[in-house]
Amino acid sequence: MDMKMVAKEDIEEGQDLTPPLSPLSYSLQNSFLSSADLSAAFRLLSLFQSPPSTCPQPRLFGLLTNRDKLLSSEEPDVLLKIRDGARELAKARGNFSDDVILEEALLCLVMTNAVDVQDKSGRSLGIAVYDKEFSWINHSCSPNACYRFLLFETNNTPALHYQPKMRIVPHGKIDVCSSSELAQGCERDDGPRIVVRSIKRIKKGEEVTVAYTDLLQPKEMRQAELWSKYQFVCCCRRCTASLPTYVDQLLEEISVSNMEFMNLSSDDNLLMDEADKKLNDYMDEAVTEYLSADDPESCCKKLENLLTQGLQVEKLESKAGNSQLNFRLHPLNRLSLNAYTTLASAYKVWSIDLLTLCSDTDGHHWEAFNMSRSSVAYSLLLAGATDHLFRSESSLIASAANFWANAGESLLTLARSSAWNLIVKSGLSASKFSLQKSKCCNCSLIDRLEVDSFIRQAQSAGLKNISNELLDCISNLTGKVWSSLIHGCLHLQVIKDPINFSWIDKSTNVSDFRTHSNKSCWTAEIISRKKSERYTNEERVNIFLLGVHCLFYGGHLASICYGEYSHLASHLQNVLYDEDNSIH
Ligand SMILES: C[S@@+](CC[C@H](N)C(=O)[O-])C[C@H]1O[C@@H](n2cnc3c(N)ncnc32)[C@H](O)[C@@H]1O
């Protein structure tokens, strides 16, 4: 029977479910074997009291190997990886026979159970395999828990002063008592430790699940990834819903802008698939080109062209000849979200390039300042769009936390930029933009909360409504600055409101978004009026306050999924206090 982990007791959201767990095996950089999987499998060998001579069991150390399943895979890459890897592993331990069953099983165990170890900025460092308390946790596309790594913390780190107890227990029965396989006295106190944490309320006896894949992908992509990596079909609530969930629908929504002239036919699904592939390829090409050729300008143009104009795909018709269909991405389609991420980065790089490569003239400073504003606008849009999805799918909390934190940080950097002095006569000095000197006229949160204990206070029961209060202010302040942030950026000008997506009516077909977005309240009139206006100190103060609220909100969400002493929470506090954090 399959194993799973369940809650021992009722658990609130934002609580550690396990103490820090050490890995059974791990492989960070510089492995002497060619891949991290091999290296981790090799380390597992040393854990055997005496390696079994043959290995018919479906589990080793109590962990599922999935050997039979993976070896009957139709994916040639998976088979090749196991076959070649097992031979290499056998050679490395001096086994020159043809019997590599144990090596195959170990490699399959690693492929089934290993997790990607990431550093604070989300960069992959390698992989680790944990014991049963972690490895028996199944996947869900709407999980109720997440995990974080403790990479360089010692037992004196504040985060570890208290030791959370084990609040989850195994459920299921396995035949082999595999703890006997482990070598005696096998110390496992090195390597990246992992802590599991609740992101939703979990009832006693309820299964605890985590995500094995990126949850900001539509169902087909998640399923394809889970299949190719683990060879299982996910049967979680989000995947088995009779109709695609609201979030999945949005993440894959594309529409045909000139469809009213066409007759729908059974070929249209094929055409949609073709369009989806073409849109993907276009995005990939633009991003790869940006990363390899370091050409942010061309990348921004290509992506904004895609977002604004859509993509033409030819439809073959029997009688009337061929016609061009115009496919448009929904603003919350996963490709749009990827485009916002890239655009936020590309505009920032473009702005820095302009300042470093060009002569020191006001014109270039002004242009660079505009690029920074576009970068900020895209990070705000990304945060708002993800937040809209998070409200329907609360397991997206980690993405929302990170995007709000990024948006807040870039807003603060913009507000503290000395470039304002070129634009605003009798401008404010950057030192004005500190928390001590700021007041929000809407909410009292900034006054009420001490920044350095904000995360802890926000966790307390008295601040349950903090999200709504912060979001109200974010929405309000965005209304005051959005038209100046999007100035000059054609695509952003059709986005009605980057925070409040309620114009996407849940009860109607989401394909109607084009009609709604055309009725943008940020009308051309407002935009052109802004063009002629000079920027004001008031605008700068509002950008600063908006940044502070985004950081508080991101910090609040981060404390739920990463804990109050997490790297993100402390990073956010540094950003809030860093009054010299300015661009030029
Ligand atoms: C790390 S193990 C999880 C524990 C496993 N159930 C066990 O019995 O040891 C990962 C494997 O569990 C199964 N699994 C995990 N999540 C699943 C899901 N949502 N749907 C189907 N199978 C799943 C798959 O076989 C996957 O390769």
Condensed to tens digits (0 to 9), the pLDDT of residues 159-173 reads 556 678 999 999 988
Q: Ligand 1 centre from 309 Cα, in Å?
A: 43
Reported as a pLDDT band with limits 50, 70 and 90, residue 578 is low
Tokens for 17?
């479910």
**Do residues 26 and 43 touch, judged by C-beta distance below 8 A?**
yes
Q: pLDDT digits over 277-305, tens only?
A: 999 999 999 999 898 888 899 999 999 99
Establish whether residue 139 lines the binding site of ligand 1, counting it when its CB lies within 6 angstroms of any ligand atom. yes
Residue whose entry in the numeric block shows the structure tokens 């270039």:
364
Calculate how far, in angstroms, residue 174's C-alpha sits from the geometric centre of ligand 1. 14
pLDDT at 25: 94
pLDDT of residue 115: 95
Average pLDDT, stretch 539-559? 89
**Residue 505 confidence (pLDDT) above 90:** no
Give me ligand 1 centre to Cα 139, in Å.
Answer: 7
Q: Ligand 1 in contact with 135 (CB < 6 A)?
A: yes
Mean pLDDT of the chain: 82
Ligand 1 contact, 3 CB (< 6 A):
yes
Is the Cβ atom of 60 under 6 angstroms away from ligand 1? no
Backbone angle region of 61, left / alpha / beta, with phi > 0 → left and psi within -120 to 50 → alpha? left
Alpha helices (runs of H) in 7-100, residue ranges in sequence order = 36-45, 67-71, 76-92
Nearest to 34 by CA among 76, 67, 79, 81: 81
Cα separation, 458 vs 445, whole angstroms: 10
Greater pLDDT, 465 or 167: 167
Instruction: Determine the distance separating the centroid of ligand 1 and the alpha carbon of 141, expressed in angstroms.
Output: 13
Q: Answer whether 209 contacts ligand 1 (Cβ < 6 A).
A: no
Secondary structure (3-state) at 93: coil
Report the distance separating Cα 547 and Cα 452, nearest Å: 17
CB 138 near ligand 1, within 6 Å: yes
- Least trusted range by pLDDT, from 401-415, 448-462, 478-492: 448-462
Note the pLDDT of residue 418.
80
Q: In whole angstroms, what is the distance from residue 110 CA to residue 37 CA? A: 6
pLDDT, greater one: 35 or 410: 410
Kindly state if the Cβ of 140 falls inside 6 Å of ligand 1: yes
Q: Tell me if 64 CB under 6 Å of ligand 1.
A: yes
- Tell me, using a 6 A CB cutoff, whether residue 232 lines ligand 1: yes
The closest-lying atom of ligand 1 relative to the alpha carbon of residue 140 is 19
For residue 348, pLDDT over 60 is answered with yes
Q: Which of 265-274, 465-474, 498-507 has the highest mean pLDDT?
A: 465-474
> Over pLDDT 90: what percentage of the chain?
44
DSSP string, 330-367: -TTSHHHHHHHHHHHHHHHHHHHHHHHHS-S-HHHHHH
Q: What is the pLDDT of residues 67-84, one digit of tens each?
A: 999 998 888 888 888 999
Convert the pLDDT of each residue in 238-276 to its tens digit: 999 999 999 999 999 988 776 654 555 656 677 888 888
Interstrand relation of 209-210 and 59-60 (parallel, antiparallel or unpaired): unpaired
Residue 456 has pLDDT above 70, yes or no: no
- What integer pLDDT is reported at residue 468 of this predicted model? 83
Contact between residue 136 and residue 4 where contact means Cβ atoms under 8 Å apart: yes
- The whole-angstrom separation of Cα 543 and Cα 478 is 8
Give distance in angstroms: CA of 380 to centre of ligand 1: 37
CA of 332 to the centre of ligand 1 (A): 30
| Whole-number pLDDT of residue 224 | 94
Instruction: Please tell me if the CB atom of residue 234 comes closer than 6 angstroms to any atom of ligand 1.
Output: yes
Ligand 1 pocket, residue 570 CB under 6 Å:
no
**Neighbour-count burial of 431, counting CB atoms closer than 10 A to its CB (0-12 exposed, 13-18 middle, 19+ buried):** exposed
Range of weakest confidence among 65-69, 119-123, 548-552: 119-123
What confidence category does residue 31 fall into, taking pLDDT thresholds of 50, 70 and 90? Answer: low
**What percent of the chain stands above pLDDT 70?**
76
* Most confident range, picked from 113-127, 137-151, 164-178: 137-151
When mean pLDDT is compared over 67-76, 156-165, 191-200, 493-502, the highest value belongs to: 191-200
Q: Is the pLDDT of residue 570 over 50?
A: yes
pLDDT of 105 > 80? The answer is: yes
Q: Give me the pLDDT at residue 537, please.
A: 81
- For residue 441, pLDDT beyond 60: yes
Domains of the chain: 4-240 (3.90.1410), 353-577 (no CATH)
The residue behind tokens 């992959």 is 124
Nearest CA to ligand 1 atom 15: 138
ipTM, 2 dp: 0.99
How many Å lie between the centroid of ligand 1 and the Cα of residue 64?
A: 8
Dist. CA 435 → ligand 1 center (Å): 47
- Measured in angstroms, how far is the CA atom of residue 137 from the centroid of ligand 1? 8
- From the alpha carbon of 234, which atom of ligand 1 is closest? 20
What is the pLDDT at residue 525?
Answer: 40
